[in-house]
Amino acid sequence: MDFEYTSDQQLLRDSVTRLLTDKYDFESRKRYLAAGGRSREIWHQFAELGLLGLPFGESEGGLGAGAVELLIVMEAFGRHLVLEPYLATIVLGGGCLRYGASTQLRQEVLPQLIGGTHLAAFAHSERQARFDLADIATTARRSGKDWVLNGAKKYVLHGASADYLIICARVSGEQRDRHGLALFVVDARSSGLERRGYLTQDGTSAADLTLSDVHVDGGRLIGDPDSALPIVEKVVADGIAAACAEAVGAMERAFEMTVDYLKTRKQFGTTIGSFQALQHRAVDMLVALEQARSMALYAAMMSSEPDVEARNQALSAAKVQICRSARFIGEQAVQLHGGIGVTEECQVGHYYRRLTMLELLFGDAAHHLSLLTATGSESTSATPPST
Amino acid sequence: MDLRFTTDELAFRAEAREFFRTALPAPLRSKCILGQRLTREELKLWQGILNNKGWATPAWDPEWGGTGWSAVKQYIFKEELHMAPAPEPLSFNVNMIGPTLIAFGTPEQKRRFLPKIASLEYWFCQGFSEPGAGSDLASLRTQAQRDGDHYVINGQKLWTSTAHFADWCFLLVRTDPQARKQQGITYLLMDMKTPGITVRPIITLDGHHETNEMFLENVRVPVENRLGEENKGWDYAKYLLGHERSGIARVGVSKLRVRRAKELATRVLAGGRPLSEDSGFRQRVAALEVELKALEITQMRVISESMHSASGKPDPKASILKMKGSELQQAATQLLLEVAGYDAMEYDGEFLRGVSRAHPDDTDWALTVAPNHYWIRHVSIVGGSNEIQRNILAKQVLDL
């Protein structure tokens, strides 16, 4: 057991932090947001730094890094409220390809993602599904050597700017069956594909898709038709781990800003941080942060656990803790800032908005708590799970 | 970074688990599972078994009987002990006076006391708190005046737990009333057979006698039983703060209680179905398990950091473990109360002490639930209340 970063991991952390400190301060972020919700220049620098190739195999031009490296990057993104499509393109879209696609498809698409020339998005959620990953009404039927897709997708992160849409569709079975799902790599310019782009509450880009007889070449299928759900679940496990790490970064920064504010804001002739009620609240935020940090580490470690049930249990447990800590820290960060905390100009509220969106992403605390209680097995084993 | 135990650590865990399975006498295990109070003799028996194995004082300097285990192994040991469940070796001896003597005692004091502290031949109690000195410990007023080769002590101590079992007491006394309050305090070791000591029971909410008040009237303690220098006692008392890391959160204790609550809930009917199938109950269990998992990892992070930090300085994050750990112990105990329902209502002080019922019933387990629910309130109060822990964190970590 060892919680230390290796020197390579420390190096990665330092270089990401340096880049974001230079290029992703709050004012720069506002500019990126106004200019379409992201920065192409930053994305290019991510590519140069090797961040875009982080999780991919060396044969595909990646670095073959693991979950801890992803955690380091996402935590830094959380601290700076990074708007870029890293989760969408590298973790989710790229993850589908990495886990399921043919060598040919990987060799075609992944270098484009790693090089930063193309973006991918993961088009999975549907209106009726809420957080249920198997609830897919979008259909795919064979037509010669093509597949024909029909249906609609919602909340596709960075779906409007993506070049590739990794779309989950049903080839057989009932709407909520666990089998009968397939993943397709769909060119965003395909005819019959309509996209409505928008921003989420925190400025993240997203899109809703409508699919009307969208033809996809048979070679663009990821893995076998019928068995996409395990890939989806694996990718979402990575996504949860990434969201947990990002949330920890955002919580950490919101907490730091709050403690700084307590040390500078004066009322009644003294800094408000000298009041015990506020000191104790700040300590409770610290406890919530450290508990969240622990579970983000746990999520990172367990995201690659081969025992699927143990993996899903662990990630649900992590998400519950992250959601609860995020809610408490986000709300208290605003509260302790007083009136200025509810204004657009004050940074802390932007962290609260992002944290609230991260709570929802991949299922909120109530959802994951019911997953934990539905399966009935312990989320707390006697020891760290061993593989 | 690797959160998993190494092969070596896993092998040690198996060894510790096997030891607790075979070495712990069955009646003690049964009392621990039921949450019954142990007698002086039972605790001495168990600590003797641990000491013969060389495992009574793992964290001590190996020169004085420590095992030399890594912090991770010490943690594993505590966890296995808590989950066995086995009684903890006497904390006053093993976690408090032992390490303090090793750090500040004279060679003669170490030779004289440490082996008997490890074996529990000398049972120590702690004479720190006073009626006017609780959270504000440094305001203590019990006085010691020098008279030749002796200190003569007069005053009153409070919350001297197990003083009625103890052979010795480590206590703080005021030797310089003029000095600033932290600077006039001396640390003494007092033989409990010395004339002038009166121990009176304090019965706690669980109906049990564990703690006491202690009156000191012209009690003569030889100067050779002083720890370190005169008027430096506060430094020695503070030494332990933040150093106790393994097992301070008692995650194993809470995990065992939650596991037991879940097992017992399968036997309890609610609305004609086992309580264990009730969705509200299951959600409360799961929520608690999530927090325990997080605390378990936080605990391991603190341990891991201590192994990498060269300074050996106390880690204020230990206060997080203490705060959150005590809250979760209380929550786990509350879960047992929920499972027990009406069966928790009957008071039976004898059963709490381990006396079997004349007509045993399969709901007897519930008889200890409410007393333990009351008693567990103390864990967020002793050793610096959770509010004091927040003060420490605000000052030392947040610099507020």
Q: Domain extents for chain A?
A: 7-118, 121-226, 230-375
Question: Containing H/E element for A200?
Answer: none
| CA dist., res. A82 & res. B180, Å (int) | 53
Residue pair B155/B216 in contact by the 8 Å Cβ criterion: yes
> How far apart (Å, rounded) are the C-alpha atoms in residues B80 and B17?
6
> Tokens representing B316?
């204020």
CATH number at residue B295: 1.20.140.10
DSSP one-letter code for A2:
B
pTM: 0.94
Q: Which fold has domain A7-118?
A: Butyryl-Coa Dehydrogenase, subunit A; domain 1 (1.10.540)
Q: Is residue B165, in this structure, part of any structural domain at all?
A: yes
pLDDT, mean of residues A119-129: 97
Cα B35 to Cα B44: distance, rounded to the nearest angstrom:
18
Q: How far apart are CA A364 and CA A352, in angstroms?
A: 15
Residues B20, B147 share a domain: no
* B305 has catalytic annotation: no
CB B208 within 8 Å of CB B371: yes
Give the separation between CA A148 and CA A142, rounded to whole angstroms.
6
Smallest CA–CA distance, residue B390 to chain A, in Å, is 6
Instruction: For chain A, give the percent of residues with pLDDT over 70.
Output: 97
Q: Is the pLDDT of residue B286 over 50?
A: yes
Q: Is the pLDDT of residue A143 over 70?
A: yes
Mutation for testing the A interface, residue in B290, B305, B323, B328 having most A CBs under 10 Å: B290
Check A370 against B304: CB less than 8 A apart.
no
Using one digit for the tens of pLDDT, what is the confidence trace for A170-184? 999 999 999 999 999
CA–CA dist B242, B234 (Å, integer):
15
Q: How far apart are CA B157 and CA B162, in angstroms?
A: 13
The number of residues in chain A equals 387
Q: Answer yes or no: is B244 within a domain.
A: no
Same domain? For B224 and B331 the reply is no
The answer to whether residues B114 and B101 touch, using CB atoms and an 8 Å cutoff, is yes
pLDDT at B311: 65
Contacts 24+ apart (CB under 8 A), A262-270: A262/A336, A262/B400, A263/B399, A263/B400, A265/A338
As given in the structure block, the two tokens for residue A133 are 């990953």
Residue A309 class from Cβ within 10 Å (0-12 exposed, 13-18 middle, 19+ buried)? Answer: exposed
Domain co-membership, B25 together with B73: yes
pLDDT tier, B18 (very low <50, low <70, confident <90, very high otherwise): very high
Cβ(B95)–Cβ(B240) below 8 Å: yes
- Alpha-carbon distance of A318 to A372, in angstroms, equals 11
What is the distance between the alpha carbons of residues A85 and A36, in angstroms, rounded to a whole number? 12
Inter-residue contact B398 to A274 (CB < 8 Å): no
Span A230-375 CATH architecture: Up-down Bundle (1.20)
**CA of B262: how far to CAs of A274, B176, B327, B330, in Å?**
44, 55, 19, 16
Within this chain, do residues B291 and B371 fall inside the same structural domain, yes or no? yes
- Predicted local distance difference test score (pLDDT) of residue A361: 98
Q: Give me the domain span that covers residue B179.
A: 124-230
| pLDDT (average), residues A28-56 | 96
User: Is residue A257 within 8 Å of residue A135, measured between CB atoms?
Assistant: no
What pLDDT score was predicted for residue B312? Answer: 65
CA distance linking residue A273 with residue B242, whole number of Å: 24
- Give chain A positions within 8 Å (CB) of B281: none
Instruction: Provide the pLDDT for residue B246.
Output: 64
Among candidate residues A11, A111, A21, the one with its CA nearest the CA of residue A68: A11
Give dist(CA A46, CA B186) in Å, integer. Answer: 61
At B294 the pLDDT is 97
**Which two structure tokens, joined as six digits, stand for A251?**
């919580």
Under an 8 A CB cutoff, do A380 and B324 touch?
no
Does residue B242 form part of some domain? no
Q: How confident is the model at residue A122 (pLDDT cuts 50, 70, 90)?
A: very high
Query: Which one-letter amino acid corresponds to residue B279?
Result: S
The structural domain count of chain B equals 3
Whether B77 and B69 have beta carbons less than 8 Å apart is answered as yes
Give the angle A353-A358-A363 at the CA atoms, nearest 5°.
135
Tokens of B9: 């650590």
Percentage of residues in chain B having pLDDT higher than 70: 97
Per-residue model confidence (pLDDT) at position A191: 97
B264 domain-assigned: yes
B259 and B196 in one domain? no
Query: What type of residue sits at position A107?
Result: Q
| Contact residues on chain B for A301, CB-CB shorter than 8 A | 2-4
* Min Cα separation A25/chain B (Å): 24
Asked if residue B268 and residue B202 are part of one domain, the reply reads no
- pLDDT tens profile A238-250: 999 999 999 999 9
Catalytic residue, from B79, B130, B244, B338: name it. Answer: B244
How much is the ipTM here? 0.93
Q: What is the pLDDT of residues B99-141, one digit of tens each?
A: 999 999 999 999 999 999 999 999 999 999 999 999 899 999 9
pLDDT tens-digit map of A197-243: 999 999 999 999 999 999 999 999 998 888 899 999 999 999 999 99
Residue B95 is assigned to a structural domain of this protein: no
Find, in chain A, the residue whose alpha carbon is nearest to that of B325: A287
Last residue of a domain, one of B69, B89, B109: B89
Determine contact, residues A201/A87, Cβ cutoff 8 Å.
no
Interface with A, mutate which of B17, B250, B297, B298 (most A CBs under 10 A): B297
pLDDT digits (tens, 9 = 90+) for B178-204: 999 999 999 999 999 999 999 999 999
Query: What are the residues whose beta carbons fall under 8 Å from the beta carbon of A354, sequence distance 6 or more?
Result: A78, A81, A202, A250
Distance between CA atoms of A294 and A247, rounded to whole angstroms?
A: 12
pLDDT at A379: 41
Question: Cβ contact (<8 Å) for A3 and B301?
Answer: yes
Going by pLDDT thresholds of 50, 70 and 90, the confidence category of residue A277 is: very high
What are the tens digits of pLDDT across the range A53-106? 999 999 999 999 999 999 999 999 999 999 999 999 999 999 999 999 999 999
Closest-CA residue to B17 (of A386, A379, A383): A383
Domain-embedded: residue B39: yes
Instruction: Look at residue B351 and tell me if it is in a domain.
Output: yes
Looking at residue B242, its pLDDT comes to 62
Domain presence at residue B348: yes
Least confident of B233-247, B268-282, B332-346: B233-247
Cβ neighbors of A30 (< 8 A, separation 6 or more) are: none
| Facing residue for B3 by CB, picked from A301, A317, A373 | A301
Predicted confidence (pLDDT) per residue in B55-68, tens digit:
999 999 999 999 99
B284 and B317, same domain (yes or no): yes
B147 and B179 share one domain: yes
What is A121-226's CATH topology? Butyryl-CoA Dehydrogenase, subunit A; domain 2 (2.40.110)
**Are residues B265 and B226 located together in one domain of the fold?**
no
What CATH number did the domain enclosing B65 receive? 1.10.540.10
Torsional sign, CA B226, B230, B234, B235? negative
pLDDT confidence of residue B243: 65
Percent of chain B with pLDDT over 90: 91
CA-nearest of B154, B165, B169, B153 to B201 is B165
